[in-house]
Structure 1
Amino acid sequence: MDILGYGPDIRKKRKDHYKEWDELHVYHGEIILITAGSKAEGLTCACESDRDAILVLPNTVCLEDGVDKSIIPGHMNLFEMNIQSCNAGYCRLLLARLGPSGHPSIIDSLCGDGYGKRLMSSERFVDNLKEFMRLHNVGVKNLARAGPSLPNSYGPFIVDNVKAIRCICPGILQKWASRARHWPSPDIVEKVIAMGAFVTPIGFKGSKHNHVEWRICFNTSETKLVNNLNDTQVKIYVILKMIVNDVLRPQSKEITSYTL
């Protein structure tokens, strides 16, 4: 598999390249860019598969219930995670505070919850990104929406763009951290907890409230875990992804690498 491009040296070069790319690029001066998925893991060549791009909304954060709001600077937009009546892994975002320079993506996505509070609509949030991309991505072909992603292509390159909001949810991550395990090591577990999470604009399929639901994701944590596999484990992981893509997915489109 080293000959096929899955050796440790070439994987490291790929990871370093995308890390440098992210550090040098702020998306049109408004959004922080984070490469995730197989590109961040160094497991695919440039044109081998699409690139997962997380477009993180600046100066905005959502908090799990119980997190002290006073730790968040006053200039930041603040939301509270509401997991009541939501399926596992999903939440609603209740507006707690709008910063002095509220981002248009937020202002245009707010709606009432019927009880005097304001929610952020995931559906409107995606529509806002779609319009943003239409205005800014000159020469790029916009593709059909896929879940929370608005893919586009330029030449042989395909990018899955997912706009996201940072999420501080130590309670959720501590439940994962408290599991009995032999891997990863305690220091990696602590780093994963410190990374927090993201919420992305997609509701639970079949929910009557999916237009205001958000999926809780751990993209950077997943990258950290994959990058701490040993060489043999990485190659087994690659083979499993090949099985998903070439054997299982043709039988059922619901089975994806996200499920893996």
Structure 2
Amino acid sequence: MADEGIRRDEPGEVLKQFQNEQASAETSTVMNVLGYGPHIRQARIEAYKASDRHWTAKARGTATFITTGSKAEGLTSFLESDIDELVVTERVICLEDGVDSSSVPVEKTIFRSCSRISYSGHCRLLLEKPGTPISRTVYNALCDDGFGRGLLSSDLYVNQWLNAKREEGIVQHERAGPSTPETFGVLERDTVRGLHFYCPSILTRWAARHRYWPSADVVREVVSLGAFVSPVGVKGSDYEHVEWRMCFNTGENVLINNLNDTQVNLYVLLKMVKKDVLKPQKKEVTSFTVKNIVLWIAENNPHSWFHERSLFHWLHEGLYALRVAIDTKQLPYYMIPGRNLMAACALDHEQKCSWIATIDEMRTEGPRMILRLPKIRQAIIAHPEPLRWYSGRRIELEMLQLICRNRHFLGMDVETDVIMQAINSRQMEILREVGMRMIMEGSRVNDLQNVWISMLM
């Protein structure tokens, strides 16, 4: 796969007539019913932005909270997946080599990135100037680089947060890469503690690429949001314990939120293929892999070619790109093409051959490939009226839950806030209505809490 990413059509080449247009349009309609339409996506995005503002304000200038992943993209319901969260300390800044540090406030600790002897998209962080005072967490993660200079250990940094005291009711789990997973009630959260990374040359190279998408305004916004480093090295590297990975979480959130509906549906379908068809056990292929495939496809093709009647064409193209990535173990990172996202995947020959054969079968099946995806298959075989009835109530329940969650963050109490009381009342009406219909259709429903959980999964 070329360094510039996924490109199957030369610029200016006229795309052939799309096939399976009717099936594409019908699948797009089904996905709207299932909760992937623009209105519910935007409601989710705004709700998690509001919670980020709340926690950032509560940190009083010491940290910035950023929801990332599928929650920030508005693509999963309330309980459907973990909440991925990046917490960035405001006491530290990391600077790309060659960037002047004289304007950095004296209270901030400055690290200088050293990427010349690291894998692309990764770096080591050398202490240039301690802050006044230096953060205890940072100080305890410093080690010697062998030449008397302070080197920030990614391993030690994560371990500092693993050992931090938790609020009552939060259950801490084992470290997973750079994240510290936690459970509180029915919610699960993966938190990564990152640092600000000022890297103008990397973002300038990304912005200067020839592209059909995104627009110049969006490119400028992504550049303005900057970058971060997260505490994780390249698996198997001799310096894994002191390497940091460059990431662009806020910029990637903006990019995904600027995809059109067909591009979003392509992303969702490819994630379903990954989860329900390939079923990776060791993160050989991840949602991040799929995201990068979609971003490359969007950048390299005219925006007008992405419409609801072309969905199956792009699903075919996305599967082809996924097949190539699996076959060659090559997929350039969208923000830094020199970084190969498949470099460290634990993909053995037998599994690779099996996945390639499965993808080849899907690409020859045409629209019938969609029946391999349980969520889509169930929606297709369901009677339209019950499906729309249930989906409407499920989406309303989730919208109410998101509103209630953010009012709780703002300090509102159900005992005194009339809006939260009205939300709770309407939620109970929905749960009773759904529970009654389930009983009428032969289900045994004893607990509305279980109905609530199943509807928001």
TM-score bracket, normalised by the shorter chain, equals over 0.9
Gaps of 5+ in 2: 1-30, 291-457
- Structure 2 residue aligned with 1:192: 222
Across the aligned residues of Structure 1 and Structure 2, the Cα RMSD in angstroms comes to 1.4
| Matching of residue 138 in structure 1 with residue 171 in structure 2 | no
Q: How far 1:84 moved relative to its partner?
A: 1.8
Amino acid at match of 1:13: A
Q: 1:35 aligns with which of 67, 83, 90?
A: 67
- Structure 2 residue aligned with 1:101: 133
SS at match of 1:69: coil
Q: 1:117 aligns with which of 149, 154, 157?
A: 149
1:249–1:197 CA distance, 2 compared to 1 (3 A): farther
Q: Is the 8 A contact 1:249 1:256 kept in 2?
A: no
Q: 1:217 aligns with which of 241, 247, 256?
A: 247
Q: Where in structure 2 are the equivalents of 1:146-225 lying within 5 Å?
A: 146-225=176-255
Amino acid at match of 1:222: E
Point out the structure with max Rg over C-alpha: 2
Give the distance between the partners of 1:38 and 1:223, measured in 2 at CA: 9
Give the distance between the partners of 1:125 and 1:3, measured in 2 at CA: 44
Q: How far 1:178 moved relative to its partner?
A: 1.6
Amino acid at match of 1:259: T
Q: How far 1:212 moved relative to its partner?
A: 0.5
Amino acid at match of 2:237: S
Give the distance between the partners of 1:111 and 1:52, measured in 2 at CA: 29
Q: How far 1:253 moved relative to its partner?
A: 2.7
CA deviations 1:172-193 (Å, max 9, x no partner) are 1112112110000111111111
TM-score by length of 1: 0.95
Paired residue total = 258
Q: Is the 8 A contact 2:169 2:185 kept in 1?
A: no
Give the distance between the partners of 2:281 and 2:167, measured in 1 at CA: 35
Q: Is the 8 A contact 2:162 2:175 kept in 1?
A: no
Q: Which has the higher strand share?
A: 1
SS at match of 1:96: strand
SS at match of 1:164: strand
- Structure 1 residue aligned with 2:33: 3
- Is the deviation greater in 227-236 or in 241-250? 241-250
Q: Is the 8 A contact 1:244 1:256 kept in 2?
A: yes
- Structure 1 residue aligned with 2:270: 240
Q: Is the 8 A contact 1:62 1:79 kept in 2?
A: yes
Amino acid at match of 1:2: N
Q: 1:86 aligns with which of 98, 118, 125?
A: 118
Q: How far 1:73 moved relative to its partner?
A: 1.6
SS at match of 2:48: helix
Q: How far 1:251 moved relative to its partner?
A: 6.2
Q: How far 1:137 moved relative to its partner?
A: 2.9
Q: How far 1:163 moved relative to its partner?
A: 0.3
Q: Is the 8 A contact 1:108 1:124 kept in 2?
A: yes
Q: How far 1:149 moved relative to its partner?
A: 0.7
Give the distance between the partners of 1:183 and 1:77, measured in 2 at CA: 37
CA deviations 1:139-169 (Å, max 9, x no partner) are 1111221110111111221101100001011
Q: How far 1:63 moved relative to its partner?
A: 0.6
Gaps of 5+ in 1: none
Amino acid at match of 2:216: P
Amino acid at match of 1:19: K
Q: Is the 8 A contact 2:114 2:125 kept in 1?
A: yes
- Structure 1 residue aligned with 2:92: 60
Q: Which has the higher helix share?
A: 2
TM-score by length of 2: 0.55
